[in-house]
Structure 1
Amino acid sequence: MRKHFFRTALSVATTVALGCGAVALGPVGSASAHFGEAEISPIESDISERPWAGVEVSSGASSADLAIDQEDSTAWVADDTSSGQWLTLDLGGAYDNVRKVEVVFPDAGAVYQYVIEASADGDQWQVIADHSANDRPTRGSVDLFTEPGTRFVRVTFTGASPGATLGISELSVYNYLRDDLVLGADASWVDNDVAEGRDYWVSPTEEDRGAGPHLLDVLQDRGVEYVRLRIFNEPRSESSGDVLPVPYQGPERSREVAEWIKAERDMGLGIDFHYADSWADPAKQPKPREWAELEFDDLSQEVYDYTYDYVEQLIEQGTTPDKVAVGNEIINGFMFGSEAALIGTTDPPYFRDHPEIYQSQPGGGLLWDYWGSEDPEEQRLYDEAWDRFTTLSAQGISAVRDVSADHGEDIDVEAHIATGRSDKALEFWDQYLTRLNAKGVDPDVLAHSYYPEWHGSPEQIEQTLNAVAAAHPGYKIDIAETSYPASGGGGAPMPNSTYPRTVQGQADALQRVFQIANDIPNNQGVGVLVWEPARWQSMFTAVPGMARTWEPNASIDVFGESRATHVVEDTVYAGVLVDGEVALPDSVDALTTADGSTEPVPVAWDPVPDGATEEAGRLTVQGSTEYGQVTAMVDVVETYAGLDCDRVITGRHTGPLTVTEGVTCLDGATVSGPVSVRDGASLQADGATISGPVRADGAAAVVICDSRISGPVTSSGTSSVTIGNPVLGCAPNTISGPVTVTQTQWWNVIAGNTISGPLTCRENAQPPVNNGSTNTVSGPKSAQCRDL
């Protein structure tokens, strides 16, 4: 069994990520050796911003969507501040090449502890990043991972510093161009090029001209891996209908071109049957002259025989196609016949001028004017046209299936339409597939043309393709034709586009189409073909002073440089107090996409400007690695996050103090007597002196900093415990008496203190940590406190 054509890795330099919402992924590389200049970069997509992505949360559902609104000044905020709060991002389907996740939190001066997991089904989870030991205030993180089939990404909080807003400002998951997404071209005119003596060189004016002079050599050298050929039955003039003296793109010449593609260059090969003698597109679908007067049953048989025979010839000469399209842009059907009187078509001229020949028998034209008609007769005609069309289509598909089976080959079958209307595309595929399935046949690939001037904005075709993919999940999706000009119109964008008609605009526009195909959920997008890149909206420019010689525009490198070879941890988050010193890491992580390995790479940071931390705000520092740029996002804060006090006690408080609700703060206070913190209440002591025991039972939070306590300190079942934490400005305490901390639910820090008596910790959800500040304890340290 012959295997499908698969892409092999290209040896190309990765460059800075461009347009498509991307960020730096590799070293800068301008394709200026060709005509014009363009910055070509690996494609990166944040799937969270796509309309098919969604989120679910453990609590606070009313604000959930704010975590993916592309605005980090808003946030999902959990209703509950207990441990285990989570947010799950549903990417809308599985992705094989998501490689980076970025999470941003609401509070700049807080410490967030969390775990990030990925899942294909929402049931089985794989940890991709564990930040549960965080002890520094940072507003976010970037993590790299490789988990093919990822659909869900979940962030689960395991802790947060006291007073932190528990929530997520933004969760982003980035997708990269898959290796198996085929990037190719329809280069059917290549037989004309050779016959006309046209030369193509990668660098025609340099001493080493590179690949050439054959167009296919230049295309292959620049990263094109697949070539489609249109097949006219008996090539004729579009105007007169006369047979052309040179049968360009006819069966015989195309067999020779197939050898250039498949046998000589080992590129992928697609065959596009027009089932016509001249151009077939939505506006014109003439029958071949030889079939024009056949009765319908004979026409149907001829489609089968012709398709079988031609594919067999290709197989027998050693150029088995990887894919065969049964018709070209068949949104209105194909091989129009007598039904053309109802369609109202007049093109091409020979079809119009000779109705006695071309319209003498029924064909496969569709009657869209009757779509949704309540007139029974019109509905009957609509259905009958669909039946004829799909009968002819089924014959072509069956022929490809049968000849493949007879020769032990595996050839994909494609159906290819062109429309700017999503509703029409959905109706087409529903009718087409339902009727074909009833006839016992099925295509593999549902293909669409996309030209903005005819089919709308990139967002419109993206919406259409994703609607089709969702409605028909068992099929591959392909963009069989696209292009964009590099000149004309004074450089103004094409209709329905934002990209200028420049070499850079051409590169960006094509990359946007690559991105659209790659981002279809469940990896249903399988390829993009640029239509006639050497002729129509050309990616080549004639070389002045060199007759019949063309060189590629710099934009042609989109084929070879749109895939990332490395993904870098391109954003570093840090926090610092006003007038503090910015500390940035010496290295960041970089992931090699070929094998999924991750390793640290050095960062060279720009100098931090003098006085940069004198005022609160956001400071950015640029850095560079061998794989691209890195940005440090440094939040300068007046103070770190803390509890908001409902009651503040200063001076002297005589007798017992019981906290039953809200947050009570002891600000330099002296308390003579025991302090009790009841269920759900919180205590924050800073610079306090307490004579007597401190006990918390089921409290929300206990924070003790820079205080002297005479008596035991006991916490049981408290959600958040902080007894000293110098890294967050909570100075150590002096405690005369035993300290016992049990059953703490999440945040749990005991750091830098001097304790006269034993330190006991047990049954805590997470063992307490000292964040690098060892406690001095005169008694034994036991159980979970042993290493503090």
Structure 2
Amino acid sequence: MRILRNLVFLCCITAVLVRYLPAQTYAVGADISFLAKCEKDGAVFKENGQPSDVLAMLREHHYNWVRLRVFHDPSVDGDKLPNDLAYTIALAQRAKAQNFHLLLSIHYADGWADPGKQPTPAAWRELKHKQLVQQVFEYSRDVIGSMARAGVMPDMVQVGNEVTAGMLWPDGKLPNNWDNFADLLQAGIRGIDAGRGPFRMPRIMIHIERSGDYDAATWFFDNLIAHHVRFDLIGLSYYPFWHGSIAKLRGNLHDLALRYRRPIIVVETASNWTSMAAAEKKYDFAESPAGQRAFLQAVDAAVRAVPYGLGQGVFWWEPAAEGPLRGRSFFDENGNVLPVISAFDDTSGR
């Protein structure tokens, strides 16, 4: 009996440790989905005045994850974005060659999907709900299968992007269609499982943008759990000009960790190194190179402070970018790298 009691005790302790200990190395990440397009367009990125590979720069400054998005058929989207599956696989191969972990963001759209728009791919727009569920399953299976065969199996996958208002509108639009939305998410997760072959199942992230809004975040995740959608991590976007102060972020991260006991990653964040629209709003950090670096360090500190080690990473959105996005990238107008890239060079005190 004593042996049995000891075994039960050890099992209980193990369950507690599995629940609370981090399940991965802290993710220092960047979404580099525009990188290859920028290079094709002639952009040159430099460090110490010399042209350099952006991925090599990130690796040198302690980045260990990249995030890539994939669109269903960007050739039919008006923005003519590059992020089809072939483009994404090629960029993933470059990242894997430099030993980055990979987070794949499947948008389930031909172009941008976010809280303000979740357009159904053109090829699926006439489908009924059950047919749409089947397409999500097959598409997810085929994307993951293609990546596995190419040697770039993702370590983590987002089923949808910033899905606070659902996805694949109108079928999966929230708040009215929770049952449909849950069906679509579950189909995506099943498809990822079916496509992975002999590889380990990627960790599944559900990603919303309400990083400073506890009520909205809990409304979403409470409903998600009530609909029996199984997922591993909570992903949040945090842009200070839309989502509020660092203090709001810190409080929300803390409270969500206590409520859900799941790992949390700030999977998109960025701020400006030059004056942009954010200048019109209350803002914790100066729109300057030094302010941008201080901002990233503050976000990182907020995530690392999450209870039980459940804060598991930060991803910058598009460090290499062109046009209007250049003002929040890691590079100035001449392609010279900015101080923000060194934000993780010394994390010993955080």
Query: By the TM > 0.5 criterion, same fold?
Result: yes
Measured after TM superposition, the shift of residue 489 of structure 1 is 5.3
Structure 2: give runs of 5+ residues left out of the alignment: 1-16
User: Does the CA contact (< 8 Å) of 2:140 and 2:195 recur in 1?
Assistant: no
Once the two structures are aligned, what percentage of the paired residues are identical? 29
Which residue of structure 2 lines up, in the alignment, with residue 488 of structure 1? Answer: 275
Matches within 5 A, 1:400-479: 400-404=192-196, 406-419=197-210, 420-435=212-227, 437=228, 441-473=229-261, 475-479=262-266
Equivalent position to 2:67, from 223, 228, 243:
228
Matches within 5 A, 1:69-468: 180-204=25-49, 209=50, 212-236=51-75, 241-242=77-78, 244=80, 248-262=82-96, 264-337=97-170, 363-367=171-175, 382=176, 385-404=177-196, 406-419=197-210, 420-435=212-227, 437=228, 441-468=229-256
Equivalent position to 1:523, from 309, 333, 343:
309
| Corresponding residue SS for 1:293 | coil
Aligned residues: 325
AA aligned to 1:310 is V
User: Does the CA contact (< 8 Å) of 1:494 and 1:501 recur in 2?
Assistant: no
Task: Give per-residue Cα distances to partners, 1:608-646, cap 9 Å, x unaligned.
Answer: xxxxxxxxxxxxxxxxxxxxxxxxxxxxxxxxxxxxxxx
CA distance in 2, matches of 1:226, 1:197: 25
User: Does the CA contact (< 8 Å) of 1:493 and 1:499 recur in 2?
Assistant: no
Task: Give per-residue Cα distances to partners, 1:5-42, cap 9 Å, x unaligned.
Answer: xxxxxxxxxxxxxxxxxxxxxxxxxxxxxxxxxxxxxx
Measured after TM superposition, the shift of residue 222 of structure 1 is 2.4
Structure 1: give runs of 5+ residues left out of the alignment: 1-147, 152-178, 338-362, 368-381, 544-549, 568-592, 594-788
After TM superposition, the score normalised by the length of structure 2 is: 0.87
Task: Go from structure 1 to structure 2 and tell me whether the alpha carbon gap of 1:518 and 1:290 turns closer, same or farther (over 3 Å shift).
Answer: same
Task: Go from structure 1 to structure 2 and tell me whether the alpha carbon gap of 1:515 and 1:393 turns closer, same or farther (over 3 Å shift).
Answer: same
User: Does the CA contact (< 8 Å) of 1:200 and 1:218 recur in 2?
Assistant: no
Higher helix share: 2
CA distance in 1, matches of 2:173, 2:307: 33
| Corresponding residue SS for 1:541 | coil
User: Does the CA contact (< 8 Å) of 1:272 and 1:327 recur in 2?
Assistant: yes
CA distance in 2, matches of 1:515, 1:521: 12
Measured after TM superposition, the shift of residue 223 of structure 1 is 2.3
User: Does the CA contact (< 8 Å) of 1:390 and 1:432 recur in 2?
Assistant: yes
User: Does the CA contact (< 8 Å) of 2:147 and 2:154 recur in 1?
Assistant: yes
AA aligned to 1:471 is R
Task: Go from structure 1 to structure 2 and tell me whether the alpha carbon gap of 1:466 and 1:249 turns closer, same or farther (over 3 Å shift).
Answer: same
Task: Give per-residue Cα distances to partners, 1:726-747, cap 9 Å, x unaligned.
Answer: xxxxxxxxxxxxxxxxxxxxxx
Task: Give per-residue Cα distances to partners, 1:325-383, cap 9 Å, x unaligned.
Answer: 0000000001102xxxxxxxxxxxxxxxxxxxxxxxxx11003xxxxxxxxxxxxxx3x
User: Does the CA contact (< 8 Å) of 1:478 and 1:526 recur in 2?
Assistant: yes
| Corresponding residue SS for 1:257 | helix
Measured after TM superposition, the shift of residue 256 of structure 1 is 0.8
Higher relative contact order (CA 8 A, sep 6+): 2
User: Does the CA contact (< 8 Å) of 1:232 and 1:275 recur in 2?
Assistant: yes
After TM superposition, the score normalised by the length of structure 1 is: 0.40
| Corresponding residue SS for 1:191 | helix
User: Does the CA contact (< 8 Å) of 2:263 and 2:311 recur in 1?
Assistant: yes
Matches within 5 A, 1:33-52: none
| Corresponding residue SS for 2:344 | helix
Are 1:509 and 2:300 an aligned pair? no
Matches within 5 A, 1:581-600: none
Task: Go from structure 1 to structure 2 and tell me whether the alpha carbon gap of 1:288 and 1:522 turns closer, same or farther (over 3 Å shift).
Answer: same
User: Does the CA contact (< 8 Å) of 1:191 and 1:249 recur in 2?
Assistant: no
Measured after TM superposition, the shift of residue 430 of structure 1 is 0.4
CA distance in 1, matches of 2:290, 2:42: 29
Task: Go from structure 1 to structure 2 and tell me whether the alpha carbon gap of 1:302 and 1:243 turns closer, same or farther (over 3 Å shift).
Answer: farther
Which residue of structure 2 lines up, in the alignment, with residue 551 of structure 1? Answer: 336
User: Does the CA contact (< 8 Å) of 1:194 and 1:214 recur in 2?
Assistant: no
| Corresponding residue SS for 1:199 | coil
Matches within 5 A, 1:623-772: none
Higher strand share: 1
CA distance in 2, matches of 1:387, 1:463: 30
Which residue of structure 1 lines up, in the alignment, with residue 13 of structure 2? Answer: none
| Corresponding residue SS for 1:194 | helix
Task: Give per-residue Cα distances to partners, 1:518-571, cap 9 Å, x unaligned.
Answer: 11101111111000122231121133xxxxxx121012101333x11xx6xxxx
Task: Go from structure 1 to structure 2 and tell me whether the alpha carbon gap of 1:496 and 1:522 turns closer, same or farther (over 3 Å shift).
Answer: farther
Which residue of structure 2 lines up, in the alignment, with residue 776 of structure 1? Answer: none
CA distance in 2, matches of 1:552, 1:243: 27
CA distance in 2, matches of 1:313, 1:443: 22
Which residue of structure 2 lines up, in the alignment, with residue 754 of structure 1? Answer: none
Which residue of structure 2 lines up, in the alignment, with residue 623 of structure 1? Answer: none
Equivalent position to 2:284, from 486, 498, 519:
498
| Corresponding residue SS for 1:325 | strand
